[in-house]
Amino acid sequence: TKNYRTGDHVLHLLLEDGTELNYPVDPAPLPPLRNPDILVGENDLTALSYLHEPAVLHNLKVRFVESKLIYTYSGIILVAMNPYKQLPIYGDAIIHAYSGQNMGDMDPHIFAVAEEAYKQMARNNRNQSVIVSGESGAGKTVSARYAMRYFATVSKSNSNAHVEDKVLASNPITEAVGNAKTTRNDNSSRFGKYTEISFDQRHQIIGANMRTYLLEKSRVVFQSENERNYHIFYQLCASALQPEFKHLKLGHAEEFNYTRMGGNTVIEGVDDRVDMMETQKTFTLLGLKEDFQMDVFKILAAILHLGNVQMTAVGDEKSSVSLEDKHLNIFCELLDLDNDKVAQWLCHRKIITASETVIKPMTKLQALNARDALAKKIYSHLFDFIVERINKALHFSGKQHTFIGVLDIYGFETFDVNSFEQFCINYANEKLQQQFNLHVFKLEQEEYMKEDIPWTLIDFYDNQPVIDLIEAKMGILELLDEECLLPQGTDENWLQKLYNNYINKNPFFQKPKMSNTSFIIQHFADKVEYKSEGFLEKNRDTVYEVLIDILRNSKFHLCADFFQDHPVPISPFRSTITVKSAKTVVKPPNKQFRTTVGSKVLSLAQIVKILNSYTPIDDFEKRVSPSFVRKVQAMLNNREDIPQLMLDTKYLFQVTFPYTPSPHALEIIQIPSSFKLGFLTRV
């Protein structure tokens, strides 16, 4: 409403609703510029004149609130707003409308992204990956489901095998055993899932393979307020009175410790009994017959009964389980175990030294922890077993021509109380974010190179320092593993080591002002405060060997198979994938390190390796052109001797250019530290 002059303390603004605002600008900077009216509501954010956070948020808000549109492009990325209700935009007619269209020709949609992946695969015979990422509750699982449904519909084969239906049927089963209600989301994925959909030469689906990562096992034995255990437990309890389930001796979910902790066993609008019928139907569709299903349900019921086994303290140092305990007897009956042995070894542990074997009683707390660890172990094996059987059902005899991978991994999480599970999930998201950054920026810069447009490498936000804080040598995970090896290791001692190593030394690590039991990490998405209590116990994941032996000798074949010494590996990575690690992996000094959960989190690098291998990053490195090499030579031709810059394209050639780190040369060639994973490496 009034011209601004340099030195003015106030900016006089007229807002859209007609109100006037005096905006202070001294010492604060001027606010970011607004886009012209004609661009507000654009369906591609890259079309905006001014691309900054307020402009992005305003554009998304206008599209979502005023136009009721949940999808917006940002170049090759699709941004989706979760409407938290079903929309009529996913029918077969919509799928056929997007089939064969170019990505920019139609309104933004998950089907447009899926069509682009399918078209690229069919046209170029190149494998594709679709990454679905976002915070917890953003709608990732549903989006991944729609993408898979699109592939199944447009690539339908004429055979009677109904492979597409089987691929889609895997979703309700994995959601039943791997999803749960959290405070953020009624159907939150508590594991990561990478589904590889295989196509033949006619680009029709012939099968699929699923890999899972980091199931949240602690949820089996503990849920926070207003959260639930895995859906399958409630589906089973809701079906307890059905004739086929009577022998499981179940009741309402509120009768079991493992299902009532969150205080609310029901999700509004969800009928667990109906969902159970759907789960059984999809099991059958995959060829997993009733006897297999009943074996699975027996193990699930046994876990619920195990959670109700009562431990009684005997003095301060001992505990006991009554042989009359109803739930102990049902647990042993379902899994065909010896009651006396289970009762004894839930409360005792065997310590073997060089000279003798000592049987040591456990306190009530230790016994409860041992019981819970056993329940988690059984559920974890059951989950892997179900995934393995789904993969067998989706296995195909023919030759895979190409595939499309769909990655649905748990989103970034921050709750009132964050523990080891959130730490693992957020670390996984850091790795995924890094992959996303490299992918998008490398692709963009490749376009510039192809067009011979003068360009400077963009030094984009790099989250490698946070990843290093967690996974590098003497990082948080290594210190955690180290503390787990110590007989007297405690959460407190480990936290003290973190404080000593990182306070005032690492900008991404902080100590909360009001707490001596927590630490803060500055992640790419937000600051998160983690409570250290329970980190060691959850990382050790200890189950006492004697209990494992008892289950190994069970007469119930499925239970016994879980605990054999040499199980067949679940969903092994194909041996043909050979991709260099993103960074040097520190080899653990001894085998015990590998048994911790933390060491399994590090294996998440495998996801990134697969995505790197089957996305255009790989293509980019293959196609570094001779003209680009000449450009680099020209930039560096005024120097001599070492240090040098190495260009290793991995496929075409390997060249070493002399390099002088003069200010001028550094200005021309800016190599972001994140490109450690890419094509330029200083040597």
User: Minimal CA–CA distance to 240: which of 254, 227, 232, 250?
Assistant: 250
492 is catalytic: no
Considering 59, 129, 133, 185, which one is annotated as catalytic? Answer: 185
Rg of the chain over all Cα atoms, to the nearest angstrom: 28
Q: Determine the 3-state secondary structure of 591 from DSSP.
A: helix
Q: Is the dihedral of CA 219, 222, 228, 230 positive or negative?
A: positive
Q: Which residue type does 158 have?
A: N
User: Minimal CA–CA distance to 495: which of 530, 526, 469, 524?
Assistant: 530
189 is catalytic: yes
Considering 178, 262, 307, 411, which one is annotated as catalytic? Answer: 411
List the structure tokens of 71.
Answer: 């999808």
Considering 41, 137, 489, 534, which one is annotated as catalytic? Answer: 137
> CB–CB of 278/172 below 8 Å?
yes
Q: Round to whole Å and give the CA distance between 373 and 542.
A: 7
CA 431, 433, 438, 443: dihedral to nearest 10 degrees?
140
Considering 127, 136, 259, 418, which one is annotated as catalytic? Answer: 136
Phi (first) and psi of residue 20, to 5 degrees:
-95, 145
* Helices 290-307 and 364-393: angle between axes, nearest 10 degrees: 160
Considering 35, 174, 188, 282, which one is annotated as catalytic? Answer: 188
Strand-pairing partners, residue 193, are 212, 408
Number of Cβ within 10 Å of residue 490's Cβ equals 12
3-state secondary structure 78-98: EEECCCCCCCCCCCHHHHHHH
Strands 402-408, 128-132: pairing kind? parallel
Which ranges constitute the DSSP H helices of 503-604?
A: 535-540, 545-552, 557-562, 597-602
137 is catalytic: yes
413 is catalytic: yes
Indicate the annotated binding residues. Answer: 134-141
CA 217, 221, 227, 228: dihedral to nearest 10 degrees?
90
Indicate the annotated binding residues for ATP. Answer: 134-141
CB burial of 95-124 (b: ≥16 within 10 Å; e: otherwise) equals: beebeeeebeeeebbbbbbbbbbbbbbbee
Considering 116, 413, 430, 478, which one is annotated as catalytic? Answer: 413
Considering 189, 229, 419, 532, which one is annotated as catalytic? Answer: 189
Identify the residue whose tokens are 């790419």: 524
188 is catalytic: yes
Q: Determine the 3-state secondary structure of 549 from DSSP.
A: helix
91 is catalytic: no
Catalytic site positions: 136-137, 141, 185, 188-189, 411, 413
